């Protein structure tokens, strides 16, 4: 099919709408191949359609450009083209293109962890499709597939299975082989999440058979990945590695960044279970590289900015539309009033004028209300942006390159000169800590027990740098259920690191660090206290050791204030310089209030 389309494009050189459609058809047929020629043809189709004022072709070309960058996981560029295509479709009131635009935009929201926005767009697209009488169609199968993916991202895997089974039913009735292979692979993936691994293998094996029979090589990578995950859970590690490596090869060939991310994360777990820490470390590095490429701060900011601009333009368009309707209403009212004036007379004319003035007052009030709502929406966007930036700063301070270098250097010294058994144990700790931090980095909350476990692993690694004179203790108040209570992640470790680097590292003699967790009196938050017997903040400042601390504590303070908007910063975060009986420096104590999230 690819060759035949290329031949048609090459032989048809007339610059008209037929050529635009041929270029778009090639892009659609090669959407999953990563073919750079598809990008070139999409750009040519857009320019020609714009020149011809061929709006339908212009919209299709914009969607093709978005699809190319979406498949390459360059989401900041993809969203620009998707929103331009959707805006043009809405202006033309082309419901078919509106459905396509909303589906594309929702798929991108799913990939960038904005599932609620994705579901809203999918539901609006599905409602338009059902209104058009296309309940049993390939387009609806595509929308339901994406809705299943959105529910999966939200953790509702049972609902995801229901939607993918609806897709399978539609595709079997319409005999769409690609949809059958895709939906079976998706059902298998969701069954893995539900712990039904044997049942998952049945669907995944069937998906691979259909894909191979019809040459759908693009689908094989994700199915092999899911089979590898199933074998991991069934503790058949050799089979898991085999299928994951096959998936890795296909994902690299297709430059499927999203699948590469999942494969490397799963390989990390398999190698860790096998005790192959060298490959586990390599998989960790590969995972972090792909993750940074897809979800880098700058890309996320561009996506947020473009989306905010689109939402603002929609609100402005709504306001303009309301104003136009109001003006039409005013003109109709005026015309009616003139007719009444000529029949009824001056008395009714005065009444009409009074009504006209009252209508203008009502319109003015409505416009003011719309402006107020728009301002509130903009404030909300700014607040969300601040929360995101503070969380990113907290993540940077959680696992900085300096700590990774020190930990690996200490482990290397143990291998070369010390206890190799201990070195191997610490390497395992380092791999486990890295994986756990990657897992919690995207979560809004984690259990208190998980936080304590992460801190313990971190302190075990830091302990290697001291000469048997470092003591640490983590205390949780007895009546606290640390598995039930949840707190925001990545707030405590930077404070512990500050205590070690700027307080204890420069101290001679016994070095003591203690972390205490207790409930506040109103039981609405956890009080966390980090106490050390280090040299104190004044001495640390004199040797210029506060530069790193200023970054992490500022980030933590900012995030705490966002999490506790009704409290002042002094109420949720404080430093205390400890003194002994003689008034000499005896260390530092940091206390902060962490908002509680009760698990259900």
Q: What is the pLDDT of residues 127-140, one digit of tens each?
A: 998 888 888 898 89
pLDDT reading at 379 higher than 70: yes
Residue 412 belongs to some domain of the structure: yes
Q: With CA atoms as reference, report the closest residue to 411 among 466, 464, 348, 463.
A: 464
Number of domains present in the structure of the chain: 3
Q: What is the CA radius of gyration of the chain?
A: 30
Q: What is the mean pLDDT of residues 41-68?
A: 94
Q: What is the mean pLDDT of residues 169-187?
A: 94
Domain match, 512 and 461 both: yes
**Mean pLDDT computed over every residue of the chain:** 82
Domain match, 412 and 315 both: no
CATH code, domain with 233:
1.25.40.10
pLDDT reading at 306 higher than 70: no
d(CA 348, CA 343) in angstroms, rounded, equals: 9
Domain match, 430 and 366 both: no
- The three-state (H, E, C) secondary structure of 416-479, written as one string: HHCCHHHHHHHHHHHHHHHHHHHHHCCCCCEEHHHHHHHHHHHHHHHHCCCCCCEEEEEEECCC
What pLDDT, on a 0 to 100 scale, did the predictor assign at position 249? 87
d(CA 141, CA 457) in angstroms, rounded, equals: 47
pLDDT reading at 497 higher than 50: yes
Phi, psi of 336 (to 5 degrees): -65, -40
What pLDDT, on a 0 to 100 scale, did the predictor assign at position 545? 47
Residue 40 belongs to some domain of the structure: yes
Domain match, 227 and 309 both: no
Domain match, 385 and 489 both: no
Domain match, 97 and 31 both: yes
Domain match, 407 and 360 both: no
Q: What is the mean pLDDT of residues 36-48?
A: 93
Q: Which of 122-131, 169-178, 345-354 has the lowest mean pLDDT?
A: 345-354
Domain match, 81 and 205 both: yes
What pLDDT, on a 0 to 100 scale, did the predictor assign at position 548? 45
How confident is the model over 96-127, as pLDDT tens digits?
899 989 989 888 888 888 888 888 998 899 99
Residue 274 belongs to some domain of the structure: no
Torsion 452-458-464-470 (CA) sign: negative
pLDDT reading at 313 higher than 60: no
d(CA 318, CA 309) in angstroms, rounded, equals: 14
How confident is the model over 255-301, as pLDDT tens digits?
777 788 888 888 888 888 888 878 877 878 877 777 766 655 444 54
Residue 547 confidence class, pLDDT cut points 50, 70, 90: very low
Contact 520, 526 (CB under 8 A): yes
Residue 78 belongs to some domain of the structure: yes
Residue 272 belongs to some domain of the structure: no
Domain match, 243 and 182 both: yes
Torsion 102-103-109-112 (CA) sign: negative
Biggest alpha carbon distance in the chain?
Answer: 109
Residue 271 belongs to some domain of the structure: no
Q: What is the mean pLDDT of residues 175-193?
A: 94
Residue 20 neighbours by CB under 8 Å, 6+ apart = 45, 48, 49, 52, 54, 57, 60, 61
What pLDDT, on a 0 to 100 scale, did the predictor assign at position 546? 45
Q: What is the mean pLDDT of residues 244-260?
A: 83
Share of the chain above pLDDT 70, in %: 83
What pLDDT, on a 0 to 100 scale, did the predictor assign at position 427? 85
Final residue before a domain boundary, out of 346, 378, 396: 396
How confident is the model over 319-345, as pLDDT tens digits?
666 667 676 666 666 666 666 666 776
Final residue before a domain boundary, out of 361, 396, 431: 396
CATH code, domain with 577:
3.30.565.10
Domain match, 191 and 337 both: no
Residue 283 belongs to some domain of the structure: no
Domain match, 429 and 506 both: yes
How confident is the model over 431-487, as pLDDT tens digits?
888 888 888 777 788 899 999 998 998 888 888 878 678 999 999 998 888 888 888
Q: What is the mean pLDDT of residues 299-308?
A: 51
Boundaries of domain holding 208:
2-266
What pLDDT, on a 0 to 100 scale, did the predictor assign at position 304? 53
pLDDT reading at 246 higher than 60: yes
d(CA 553, CA 590) in angstroms, rounded, equals: 10
Higher pLDDT, 288 or 158: 158
Residue 285 belongs to some domain of the structure: no
Q: With CA atoms as reference, report the closest residue to 519 among 475, 489, 558.
A: 475
pTM: 0.43
Domain match, 340 and 429 both: no
Final residue before a domain boundary, out of 337, 370, 396: 396
């Amino acid at each position: 099919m690819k060759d035949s389309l290329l031949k048609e494009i090459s032989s048809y050189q007339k610059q008209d709408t037929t050529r635009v459609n041929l270029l778009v058809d090639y892009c659609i047929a090669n959407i999953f191949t990563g073919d750079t020629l598809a990008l070139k043809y999409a750009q040519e189709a857009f320019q020609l359609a714009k020149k011809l004022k061929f709006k339908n072709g212009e919209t299709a070309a914009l969607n093709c450009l978005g699809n190319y960058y979406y498949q390459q996981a360059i989401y900041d560029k993809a969203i620009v083209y998707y929103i331009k295509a959707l805006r043009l479709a809405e202006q033309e009131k082309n419901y078919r293109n509106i459905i396509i635009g909303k589906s594309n935009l929702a798929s991108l929201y799913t990939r960038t962890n904005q599932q609620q926005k994705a579901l809203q767009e999918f539901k609006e697209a599905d409602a338009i499709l059902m209104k058009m009488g296309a309940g049993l169609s390939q387009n609806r199968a595509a929308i339901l597939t994406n809705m299943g993916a959105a529910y999966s991202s939200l953790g509702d895997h049972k609902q995801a299975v229901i939607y993918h089974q609806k897709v399978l039913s539609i595709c079997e009735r319409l005999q769409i082989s690609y949809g059958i292979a895709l939906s079976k692979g998706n059902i298998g993936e969701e069954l893995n999440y539900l712990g039904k691994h044997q049942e998952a293998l049945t669907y995944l094996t069937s998906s691979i058979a259909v894909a191979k029979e019809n040459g759908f090589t693009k689908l094989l990578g994700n199915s092999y990945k899911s089979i590898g995950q199933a074998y991991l859970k069934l503790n058949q590690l050799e089979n898991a590695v085999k299928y994951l490596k096959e998936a890795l090869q296909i994902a690299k060939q297709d430059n499927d960044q999203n699948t590469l991310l999942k494969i490397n994360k799963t390989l990390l777990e398999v190698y860790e279970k096998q005790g192959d820490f060298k490959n586990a470390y390599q998989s960790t590095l590969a995972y972090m590289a792909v993750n940074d490429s897809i979800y880098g701060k700058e890309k996320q900011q561009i996506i947020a900015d473009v989306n905010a601009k689109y939402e603002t333009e929609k609100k402005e368009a709504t306001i303009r539309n309301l104003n136009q309707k109001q003006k039409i209403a005013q003109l109709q009212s005026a015309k009616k009033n003139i007719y009444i004036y000529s029949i009824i007379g001056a008395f009714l004319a005065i009444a009409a004028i009074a009504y006209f003035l009252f209508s203008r007052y009502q319109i003015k009030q409505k416009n003011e209300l719309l402006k107020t709502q728009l301002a509130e929406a903009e404030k909300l966007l700014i607040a969300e942006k601040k929360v995101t930036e503070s969380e990113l700063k907290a993540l940077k301070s959680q696992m900085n390159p300096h700590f990774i270098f020190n930990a690996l250097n200490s482990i290397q010294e143990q291998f070369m000169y010390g206890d190799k058994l201990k070195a191997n144990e610490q390497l395992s700790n380092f791999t486990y800590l890295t994986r756990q931090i990657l897992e919690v980095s995207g979560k809004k909350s984690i259990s208190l027990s998980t936080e304590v476990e992460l801190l313990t692993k971190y302190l075990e690694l830091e302990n290697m740098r001291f000469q048997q004179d470092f003591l640490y203790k983590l205390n949780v108040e007895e009546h606290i259920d640390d598995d039930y209570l949840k707190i925001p992640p990545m707030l405590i470790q930077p404070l512990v690191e500050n205590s070690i680097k700027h307080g204890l590292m420069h101290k001679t003699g016994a070095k003591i660090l203690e972390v205490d967790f207790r409930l506040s009196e109103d039981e609405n938050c956890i009080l966390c206290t980090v106490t050390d017997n280090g040299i104190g903040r004044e001495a640390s400042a004199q040797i210029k050791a506060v530069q790193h601390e200023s970054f992490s504590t500022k980030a933590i303070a900012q995030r705490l204030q966002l999490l506790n908007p009704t409290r002042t910063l002094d109420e949720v975060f404080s430093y205390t310089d400890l003194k002994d009986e003689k008034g000499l420096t005896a260390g530092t104590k940091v206390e902060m209030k962490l908002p509680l999230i009760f698990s259900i």
